[in-house]
Structure 1
Amino acid sequence: MSDPDSEEGRHLKEVEADESAAGKRLDQWLTEALGPELSRNRVQALIRGGAVMLGTQTVTEPKRKVVIGERYAVAVPEPEVQVPVGEAIPLDILYEDDAVIVINKPAGLVVHPAPGNRTGTLVNALIHHCGQKLSTIGGAHRRGIVHRLDRDTSGVMVAAKTDEAHMALAEEFASHGRNGDLERVYVALVWGVPKRMAGMIDAPLGRALQDRTLRAVVPENRADSRDAVTHYKVLERYGEGASEGGGIASLVECWLETGRTHQVRVHLAHIGHPVIGDPAYGRAFRTKAQRLPEDAAAKVAALPRQALHARVLAFRHPETGEPMRFEAPIPDDLKEVMACLAGL
């Protein structure tokens, strides 16, 4: 699951009703506010389709009267990007047969083309490597893609070569492993050390109100709330006080019971231990690096991504039913940071 996230194939645009909007129908005003690219009929379809939010509430009535000061968020369709073509991008292949291909995705590699990343993606690499032997269920821009990792998260991913394999894997991921042997294990370098060496974070997720491309822990009764459960275990503690259970940072292993967008990153930040280098959920903790010795602080500052790695992925083979388990070693950039922290 998965990149900096907006609605699939859409971008979110916020508009505020001024005096000229007062009393107008929502569809009429949004057509004027969003510009000539969208017809009134298209705007009506977006409203009825749940693409318009007023605060935390979805608005589905085009005839609704607009009130001055209301702020609406509209998931506006992105213009279609060109059909992706194969590109000779190196792949670290862990396993491959006629149904699936398992790869160790490096940090920095976007999973599929979208506005802003039209080329140079994992899909482009898969098309070059597999040719026409990729599932088409997700559409031309997501050929073979069953699940996603954020651009700057490294680790194990599986892609489907046939539509039948895609459907079977998608069902397994959708059930969060309850109907099979799906297992997803991440490791993360985080600021601080959790009070408990192992535990469970059970906190529903929804869109963050201040930035709707991000996620946040939300009340269970909110319309967009989705259950999210992460189990964690502290593997290492670093820095002063580590031997007594404290420390400035720690290595944490996370096992996902559900697979929501940004789940590990949001949950770890929620308990006060955001992932080191996380530009979205760890911003407030950047000053922590000032407590590090100069060499360690420089190594952390030089890390160009969040210190999060999908180390293990296990699932049942979509054709044979055989349990499959793959592990990607912690990449060198994270090992270097770990080595600096271990020397504190």
Structure 2
Amino acid sequence: MNDPFKQASANRKVLTADEDAEGRLDSFLTAALEGEFSRNRIKSLIEQNAVTINGKVVSEPKRKVQPGDEIVIDMPEPEDPEPKGEDIPLDVLYEDDDLIVLVKPAGLVVHPGAGNWTGTLVNALIHHCGATLSGIGGVKRPGIVHRLDKETSGVMVAAKNDAAHRHLSDQFADHGRTGPLERAYKAVVWGRPRQLKGTIDAPLGRAGDRTKRAVKREDADDAREAITHYTVVERHVEKPDGTALASTIECHLETGRTHQIRVHMAHIGHPLIGDPEYGAAFRTKANLLPDPAKVVVSQFPRQALHAFMLQFEHPSTGEVMHFESPMPQDMEELVKALQKARL
């Protein structure tokens, strides 16, 4: 490959694809920059709209490069990479020298990222556990072995040393198939699934942007196995024909993909109440409810999802640790309003 650079500066790099250029954009840039950035970093820059080809923003790493293409990378201003401890209250269920188990409230981001460099669970953990935590599991994700969406509440575990981090990470990577790891959630969904107990086995992949997910064909490039087991716990606002306007369900994860429960329940036609991404089309269904349930449901500010149970093997003792947390007040009030509603 000939030297592709036309111009380079601290914050901008301009390259021209030579006559032999071919293949994916992320692969081309990784080779052209000769190890200056990893392929994952290149992919991240593309997905953050920091790359243009012939003056047009490109957000797909797999976009094909053509000979003569002018490619511009505008590097974002560097952020402070090391999160600082912040005195954010934690609801701690258990703690020892190896780990801490807590209940994350809705609205709390787990780890720092674009737009959320402070006020995260990581900032709270560094303050609570001390500076030694900062080197475990990476600078921006110290101690984190799994995550919950910002607006999902529930039980989480974080590691406090490298050995515990490796052991817990291995358990989550295994999805409990060969060990005691188990995760269970309570959710409030629209309608009532046809089967009161069932399994959703549908691969997930990206849906056009960096964070949203969708069910994919098994042979799709980014398809990843995703399996959710659900049980209808209670039907709300039942009709004479046996259907219901809403249901409380319990979900057990066999895999742990981004937005898995939210996407899977929407896939079978029963999105979570309050879900702004996967349940927006169902928002007007609140008008079918009688007051005051209609008001409570229409004003519910987040996806109605709570990780109520977490079980895992203690990394040092081998003991099976089991923790549960009741639904938070906002979901309790949502369920109570639906329980009282009558058609």
Residue 288 (structure 1) aligned to one of 281, 285, 290: 285
Question: Which residue is equivalent to 2:88?
Answer: 89
Call closer, same or farther: CA 1:218–1:130 in 2, change over 3 Å: same
Question: Which residue is equivalent to 1:203?
Answer: 202
User: What SS does the aligned partner of 1:200 have?
Assistant: strand
How many residue pairs are counted as aligned between the two chains? Answer: 309
Aligned partners of 1:144 and 1:161 also within 8 Å: yes
User: What SS does the aligned partner of 1:178 have?
Assistant: coil
- 5 Å-filtered alignment, 1:148-163, equals 148-163=147-162
User: What SS does the aligned partner of 1:141 have?
Assistant: coil
- Pairwise CA distance, 1:110: 0.5
Q: Is 1:58 paired with 2:57? A: no
Aligned partners of 1:135 and 1:161 also within 8 Å: no
Matches of 1:289 and 1:43 in 2, distance apart? Answer: 54
User: What SS does the aligned partner of 2:238 have?
Assistant: coil
Aligned partners of 1:183 and 1:314 also within 8 Å: yes
Letter in 1 for 2:191: G
Letter in 2 for 1:58: K
Residue 33 (structure 2) aligned to one of 31, 38, 41: 41
Aligned partners of 2:275 and 2:303 also within 8 Å: yes
Instruction: Name which structure has the greater RCO, CA cutoff 8 Å, separation 6+.
Output: 1
Matches of 1:229 and 1:276 in 2, distance apart? Answer: 21
- Pairwise CA distance, 1:86: 1.2
Matches of 1:50 and 1:85 in 2, distance apart? Answer: 27
Question: Which residue is equivalent to 1:230?
Answer: 228
Aligned partners of 1:219 and 1:225 also within 8 Å: yes
Q: Is 1:311 paired with 2:308? A: yes
Matches of 2:278 and 2:20 in 1, distance apart? Answer: 38
Matches of 1:130 and 1:137 in 2, distance apart? Answer: 12
Call closer, same or farther: CA 1:56–1:142 in 2, change over 3 Å: closer
Matches of 1:225 and 1:104 in 2, distance apart? Answer: 31
Aligned partners of 1:312 and 1:328 also within 8 Å: yes
Matches of 1:329 and 1:268 in 2, distance apart? Answer: 21
Aligned partners of 2:137 and 2:162 also within 8 Å: no
Question: Which residue is equivalent to 1:297?
Answer: 294
Letter in 2 for 1:205: L
- Pairwise CA distance, 1:85: 1.3
Q: Is 1:252 paired with 2:249? A: yes
Matches of 1:289 and 1:163 in 2, distance apart? Answer: 48
User: What SS does the aligned partner of 1:113 have?
Assistant: coil
User: What SS does the aligned partner of 2:171 have?
Assistant: helix
- Pairwise CA distance, 1:144: 1.0
User: What SS does the aligned partner of 2:157 have?
Assistant: strand
Call closer, same or farther: CA 1:78–1:235 in 2, change over 3 Å: farther
Matches of 2:253 and 2:329 in 1, distance apart? Answer: 24
- Pairwise CA distance, 1:250: 0.2
User: What SS does the aligned partner of 1:286 have?
Assistant: helix
Call closer, same or farther: CA 1:306–1:82 in 2, change over 3 Å: same
- 5 Å-filtered alignment, 1:132-211, equals 132-134=131-133, 136-209=135-208, 211=209
Letter in 2 for 1:168: H
User: What SS does the aligned partner of 2:82 have?
Assistant: coil
Aligned partners of 2:126 and 2:134 also within 8 Å: no
Call closer, same or farther: CA 1:95–1:77 in 2, change over 3 Å: farther
User: What SS does the aligned partner of 2:33 have?
Assistant: helix
Matches of 2:259 and 2:34 in 1, distance apart? Answer: 31
Q: TM-score, normalised by structure 1?
A: 0.81
Q: TM-score, normalised by structure 2?
A: 0.81
Matches of 2:105 and 2:261 in 1, distance apart? Answer: 18
Question: Which residue is equivalent to 1:240?
Answer: 238
Aligned partners of 2:237 and 2:339 also within 8 Å: yes
Call closer, same or farther: CA 1:91–1:234 in 2, change over 3 Å: same
Aligned partners of 1:207 and 1:216 also within 8 Å: yes
Question: Which residue is equivalent to 1:333?
Answer: 330
Aligned partners of 2:105 and 2:154 also within 8 Å: yes
Matches of 1:187 and 1:307 in 2, distance apart? Answer: 8
Question: Which residue is equivalent to 2:273?
Answer: 276
What is the identity percentage for the equivalent residue pairs of Structure 1 and Structure 2? 56
Question: Which residue is equivalent to 1:114?
Answer: 113
Aligned partners of 1:113 and 1:119 also within 8 Å: yes
Letter in 2 for 1:41: L
Aligned partners of 1:50 and 1:58 also within 8 Å: no
Letter in 2 for 1:327: E
User: What SS does the aligned partner of 2:264 have?
Assistant: helix
User: What SS does the aligned partner of 2:250 have?
Assistant: strand
Most deviating of 81-90 and 213-222: 81-90
Call closer, same or farther: CA 1:79–1:279 in 2, change over 3 Å: farther
Call closer, same or farther: CA 1:294–1:66 in 2, change over 3 Å: farther
Consecutive unaligned residues of structure 2, counting only runs of 5 or more, are 1-15, 48-57
Residue 321 (structure 1) aligned to one of 294, 297, 318: 318
